[in-house]
């Protein structure tokens, strides 16, 4: 069974139906699950998800915090999801990748997520931000917009 990493952008697209790409995101989720894949989600993705979907400056109808927490818990506990939890060695690899690729402060969380998924054996990530992962040269990124 394939393990596919989920980026925050994908969860936001699934949850906020007002977004143009929401239908494509749901279609992609259905296809991936029908093919028997398991979704890998790092907790930091859910933290960022809750931060984004409650932002009144980004969305006309954002979720309130209670709704955001409920949706994040749904994803964290879903049977199709494998929880990706960082280890001590992943922290060391994050430092190494930051240095190796010369990444700055705006790439800290992307690098941490990439390391977590890499160490979990994930080679495919669903995201609308392919550029966040291309520098690492170890992931295939699937974008809902391309489906």
What confidence tens digit (pLDDT) does each residue in 68-117 have? 999 999 999 999 999 999 899 999 999 999 999 999 999 999 999 999 99
Task: Please indicate, yes or no, whether the overall pTM of this predicted structure exceeds 0.85.
Answer: yes
The single residue listed with the structure tokens 């749904």 is 74
Please report the domains of the chain, with CATH numbers, ordered by start residue: 3-146 (3.40.50.1010)
How many beta carbons lie within 10 A of that of residue 32, not counting itself?
19
Please state the rounded mean pLDDT for residues 15-39: 91
Cβ proximity of 32 and 50 under 8 Å: no
Residue-level length of the chain: 147
Among 44, 43, 33, 41, residue whose Cα is nearest residue 2: 33
Distance separating alpha carbons of residues 146 and 115, to the nearest angstrom? 25
């Amino acid at each position: 069974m394939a393990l596919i990493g989920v980026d925050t952008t994908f969860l936001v697209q699934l949850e906020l139906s007002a977004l143009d790409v929401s239908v494509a995101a749901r279609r992609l989720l259905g296809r991936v699950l029908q093919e028997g894949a398991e979704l890998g989600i790092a907790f930091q993705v859910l933290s960022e998800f809750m931060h984004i979907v409650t932002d009144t400056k980004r969305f006309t109808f954002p979720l309130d915090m209670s709704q955001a927490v409920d949706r994040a818990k749904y994803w964290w506990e879903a049977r199709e999801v494998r929880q990706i939890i960082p280890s001590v060695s992943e922290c060391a690899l994050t430092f190494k990748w930051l240095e190796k690729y010369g990444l700055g402060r705006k790439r800290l969380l992307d690098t941490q997520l990439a390391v977590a998924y890499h160490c979990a054996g994930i080679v495919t990530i669903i995201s609308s931000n392919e550029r966040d992962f291309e520098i690492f040269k170890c992931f295939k990124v699937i974008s809902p917009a391309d489906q």
